[in-house]
Amino acid sequence: NAGVTQTPKFRVLKTGQSMTLLCAQDMNHEYMYWYRQDPGMGLRLIHYSVGEGTTAKGEVPDGYNVSRLKKQNFLLGLESAAPSQTSVYFCASSLSDSQLAGGRKQFFGPGTRLTVL
């Protein structure tokens, strides 16, 4: 099992450029999440999905879009990158049933370090 994988690992963009971050999981998890991590801010939820074809806004959704066309994949898009989006982005996944033992455990990918100039 590869767990949660993220592509790419590093990326540098110029202001106004667009890009898509890909997250894939092989654990058959229903729920998937995108977070950003900034110094002194912890992890903040951008968007999440509770199943294929569904998405929902998290704490800091502005400037980002997401899609979940396949259960195993969750894409994060930046249509017009801004320097404020310089961050480390983490994808995570979890089971759908919170009552199961470990049902709320989130499995994180290794992260994507994005720099917007």
CB under 8 A: which stretch of 13-21, 48-56, 60-68, 77-85 binds another protein? 48-56
Instruction: Give the pairing type, strands 112-116 and 10-13.
Output: parallel
Three-state DSSP state, 86? coil
- The CA distances from residue 9 to 6, 56, 79, 98, 114, in Å, are 7, 25, 19, 30, 8
Q: Does 31 bind another protein (CB under 8 A)?
A: yes
Give the footprint of another protein on residues 59-98 (CB under 8 A): 59, 90, 92, 94, 98
> Could you tell me the two tokens for 29?
């998890």
Among 12, 27, 50, 82, binds another protein (CB under 8 A): 50
Among 10, 14, 40, 62, binds another protein (CB under 8 A): 40
> Could you tell me the two tokens for 38?
């900034």
Among 80, 105, 115, 117, binds another protein (CB under 8 A): 105
Q: Which residues are 56's β-sheet partners?
A: 48
Which residues are at the interface with another protein (CB under 8 A)?
4, 31, 33, 40-45, 48, 50, 56, 58-59, 90, 92, 94, 98, 104-106, 108-111
